[in-house]
Amino acid sequence: MVETMKYLCEVSYVGTHFHGFQAQKNKRTVQGVLTDAAARVFGVPCAITGCSRTDSGVHAKAFCLTLDPADKNLHIPTDKLPRAMAVALPPDLSIRAARLVEDGFHPRYDAKGKEYTYYFSHFPVNDPFLVDRVWQIRYPFLPDALEKMRQAAEAFCGRQDFSAFMSQGSPVKDTVRTVKSARVDLEEGIFAFRVIADGFLYNMVRIMTGTLVSVALGRLQAQKIPEIIASGIRASAGETAPPEGLYLSRVFYDEKDFAKKTR
């Protein structure tokens, strides 16, 4: 049974010094570093397949990927794999947990949804301890910015066409997505925008965040969000927030998909 299986790993990384997840020639990427490390640990080439592609500078708290040794020799127990890989991985990337899944499981195509969190602040000066981890905005927010952003975030929920929240030039044809939850919280002076959806368009969360910040600054009214969504026009939404505040927080799967023997 084991020889038809592969590892499903939950990975965390700080994206600051990575050129995204996807392997690229002569660039440091998460997939590239993991591929090299796995080959050293297992002694054979290993296929690394991710749940999505994150951009340069974007972080992950629970990115999911499969690790599949070429010889199908899964000799390292799942509870030992994180520590075994740790010796070959840099400090800004780690495998946090692992389990076995059947060969038919795919971390991207079997994902039922994802949760992203975007962190931003509005302190009058930069906090050096938040550099590359939080979008630091020095312009003052409205006194009721949190309330207004929460109102705006609620308008993102539901099954809608999010063309206005997709970067231009994306080849995606179907721009309809279902946002299951969207909220803004304030935690020790840091705003956290958390959004769960069945899928995301290119830069969708970053554009949503930029739009919320426009609301917080008083440049855009919260009640205009439904109108912006209906317009389908990218220019009607806010700016694209920078990558450093974005984190992939969770990936959702159905347990039954882990047992797929073929696709």
CATH of the domain at 14: 3.30.70.580
Tell whether 15 is covered by a domain.
yes
The per-residue pLDDT string of the chain (263 residues; one tens digit each, 9 = 90 and over) reads 446 899 999 999 999 999 999 999 999 999 999 999 999 999 999 999 999 989 999 999 999 999 999 999 999 999 999 999 999 999 999 999 999 999 999 999 999 999 999 999 998 899 999 999 999 999 999 999 999 999 999 999 999 999 999 998 778 889 999 999 999 999 889 999 999 999 999 999 999 999 999 999 999 999 999 999 999 999 999 999 999 999 999 999 999 999 998 87
Domain boundary among 77, 110, 143: 110
| pLDDT of 136 | 97
Residue type at 48? I
Tell whether 260 is covered by a domain.
no
| pLDDT of 174 | 93
Tell whether 255 is covered by a domain.
no
**Residues 10 and 70 sit within 8 Å (Cβ to Cβ):** no
Is the same domain home to 65 and 131? no
**For residue 176, what is the DSSP state?**
E
Is the same domain home to 22 and 35? yes
For the record, the structure tokens of 82 come out as 């994180």
55 is catalytic: yes
| pLDDT of 133 | 97
Domain boundary among 69, 87, 110: 110
| pLDDT of 249 | 97
- Find all residues with CB under 8 Å of 200, minimum gap 6, and list them: 114, 116, 177
Is the same domain home to 61 and 98? yes
Is the same domain home to 118 and 104? no
Tell whether 262 is covered by a domain.
no
| pLDDT of 1 | 43
- Find all residues with CB under 8 Å of 77, minimum gap 6, and list them: none
The span from the CA of 254 to the CA of 231, in Å, is: 34
Residue 155 lies in domain: 113-249
Is the same domain home to 36 and 106? yes
The span from the CA of 219 to the CA of 212, in Å, is: 10
Q: What is the CATH number of the domain that holds 230?
A: 3.30.70.660
| pLDDT of 190 | 96
Is the same domain home to 105 and 188? no
CA distances from 58 to 48, 52, 85, 139, 223 (A): 19, 12, 22, 23, 29
Q: Is the dihedral of CA 144, 147, 149, 155 positive or negative?
A: negative
Tell whether 151 is covered by a domain.
yes
| pLDDT of 2 | 46
Is the same domain home to 237 and 119? yes
CA distances from 238 to 68, 144, 187, 254 (A): 41, 19, 23, 34
Select from 209, 230, 101, 97 the least CA-distant residue to 163: 230
| pLDDT of 169 | 75
Tell whether 191 is covered by a domain.
yes
Is the same domain home to 66 and 132? no
| pLDDT of 53 | 87
Query: Which one is catalytic: 36, 55, 161, 198?
Result: 55
How many domains does the chain divide into? 2
| pLDDT of 3 | 62
